[in-house]
């Protein structure tokens, strides 16, 4: 029975990782950095243009103290003619430094973001167009 569960676990692991080995690439053939934002506190960010069907946010932050939880909420919106996209990426973490990424599947167009933070010394967001 133990071997059976181990075999299923390995099989699932192989299936899940077969398509993507490098998590920062999000399985895209062509990644183009279209915007880099850094800041402190909450703020609206300038618009950026996406030409591909998807894009990726690569986010990192530092807290003021390693014992306090920090959080970052990124509201993303676009109004491209008939289609409207609105999404939110929320992350809470504890420790001095943190990084993560999120793949957004929404199509080409112009997007804007609003960043809301708590207990962060600074943050960085890079937008990668996945063409």
- CATH code for the domain of 64: 2.60.120.1300
- Three-state SS for 34? strand
Instruction: Supply the range of the domain harboring residue 55.
Output: 25-130
- Rounded to whole angstroms, the Cα distance separating 120 from 130 reads 28
Q: Is position 95 within any domain?
A: yes
Q: Is position 123 within any domain?
A: yes
Q: Is position 12 within any domain?
A: no
Q: Is position 2 within any domain?
A: no
The tally of domains found in the chain comes to 1
Q: State CA 118 to chain mean position distance.
A: 18
Q: Is position 20 within any domain?
A: no
Q: Mean pLDDT per segment of 10 residues, for the chain of length 131 residues?
A: 44 39 52 95 93 93 78 84 63 82 89 89 94 87
What local confidence, expressed as pLDDT, does residue 57 receive? 93
**Contact, 56 vs 119, CB < 8 A?**
no
pTM for the full predicted model:
0.72
């Amino acid at each position: 029975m133990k071997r059976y569960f181990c075999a299923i676990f390995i099989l699932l692991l192989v299936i899940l990782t077969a398509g993507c080995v490098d998590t920062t690439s999000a399985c895209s053939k062509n990644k183009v950095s279209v915007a880099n934002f850094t800041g402190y506190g909450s703020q609206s960010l300038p618009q950026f243009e996406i030409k591909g069907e998807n894009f990726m946010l690569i986010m990192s932050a530092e807290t003021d103290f390693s014992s306090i939880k920090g959080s970052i909420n990124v509201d993303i919106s676009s109004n491209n003619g008939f289609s409207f996209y609105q999404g939110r990426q929320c992350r809470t973490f504890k420790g001095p430094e943190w990084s993560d990424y999120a793949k957004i599947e929404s199509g080409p167009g112009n997007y804007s973001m609003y960043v809301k933070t708590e207990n962060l010394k600074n943050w960085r967001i890079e937008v990668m167009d996945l063409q």
